[in-house]
Copies of this chain bind each other. A is one copy, B any other.
Amino acid sequence: MKIIRDIPEMGHVSCKWKRDAMTVALVPTMGALHAGHLALVQTAKAHADRVVMSIFVNPAQFGPREDLDRYPRDLERDADLARSAGIDCIYAPDPTDMYPPDFQTWIRVERVSQGLCGTSRPGHFQGVATVVAKLFNIVQPDFAVFGEKDYQQLLVIRRMVSDLHIPVRILSHPIVREPDGLAMSSRNQYLSDKERLSAASLFRSLTEAQHLFSSGERSAKRITEAVTNQILSHPYTTIDYIFLGDPNDLKPKDPLNDPSLLAVAAWVGKTRLIDNIILRLP
């Protein structure tokens, strides 16, 4: 497994594979790998002959008071995990190569970037869309795989790919969870033991919402109340947002249709966690 840092070198490696009639899949990550990332790798391997994992903590998608400096970085550990998962190449560019001082081009996906995390994290999805387009142009993959935990991000990327006709097929993988239901996230390592117990309340609230929905509840207001109560009944928790609405265009709905998206963002101590579920009848 190669670790590439240089932009042109990454292009050459990918080009060579394609000249040899091999397909390439990209798994974009910010490192701090966990089982969720490794599931993306398996999806990538199932579709393409060669798999590139990018590891890049993208400054452009962090707000000024967010955790850019604190975000866990351990390339050696990540490389070991990636190697065991059967990755062909890690692409870990340098931030100053990705954003030189005269950098000034941004991609903005307007409507699906609004609301939800777009409200709590202004500029976040512009940073995501821009870096993903850059990675696509550098790596030239046939496929790219994203996790469904970052549901709004997945919509933003699908919309960008479609609007700009980017020749990459976007694949997604369902959320991978810890035994108690907590969605895998690199940020889970910020949690103290006590906070970790409270963090499971997000998934519990989604399960409760699915129960209500299955028993015929269609009121977004009442489901929001149940989700709120479930999360706030645990210590250290604060709710950022609870969204209920259309899974395709992220428009809030009340009463709800089948299917509907329930997306939750909450703080547990100083750690912001997100989770989501598509509410649907069996």
User: What residues of chain A have their CB less than 8 Å away from a CB belonging to chain B?
Assistant: 7, 11, 102-112, 129-130, 133-134, 137-138, 140, 159-160, 163-167, 249
Contact = CB atoms under 8 A, between A and B. Distances in A.
Contacts of A165: 7, 134, 137-138
Nearest to A138: B165
A89 to B, nearest CB: 17
Contacts of A164: 105, 107, 130, 133-134, 137
A103 B111 CA distance: 9
Given A134-B164, A164-B134, A164-B137, A108 B105 contact: yes
A106 B107 contact: yes
B108 A163 contact: no
Contacts of A105: 107-110, 129, 159-160, 163-164
30 contacts: A11-B167, A102-B159, A103-B163, A104-B109, A104-B110, A104-B111, A104-B112, A104-B159, A104-B163, A105-B108, A105-B109, A105-B110, A105-B159, A105-B163, A105-B164, A106-B107, A106-B108, A106-B110, A107-B107, A107-B108, A107-B164, A108-B108, A130-B164, A134-B163, A134-B164, A134-B165, A137-B165, A137-B166, A138-B165, A140-B167
Select the residue from A105, A134, A167, A249 with max chain B CB neighbours within 10 A: A105
A138 B166 CA distance: 8
A45 to B, nearest CB: 25
Contacts of A109: 104-105
A129 B130 CA distance: 14
A238 B43 CA distance: 61
Select the residue from A108, A165, A167 with max chain B CB neighbours within 10 A: A165
Given A7-B165, A104-B109, A134-B164, 10 more contacts: A11-B167, A102-B159, A102-B249, A105-B109, A106-B107, A106-B110, A108-B108, A137-B166, A137-B167, A140-B167
Contacts of A7: 165
A134 B163 CA distance: 8
Contacts of A110: 104-106
A101 to B, nearest CB: 11
A15 to B, nearest CB: 9
A246 to B, nearest CB: 13
- Nearest 10 A/B pairs, CB to CB: A105-B163, A104-B110, A137-B165, A104-B111, A105-B109, A138-B165, A105-B160, A106-B108, A107-B107, A137-B166
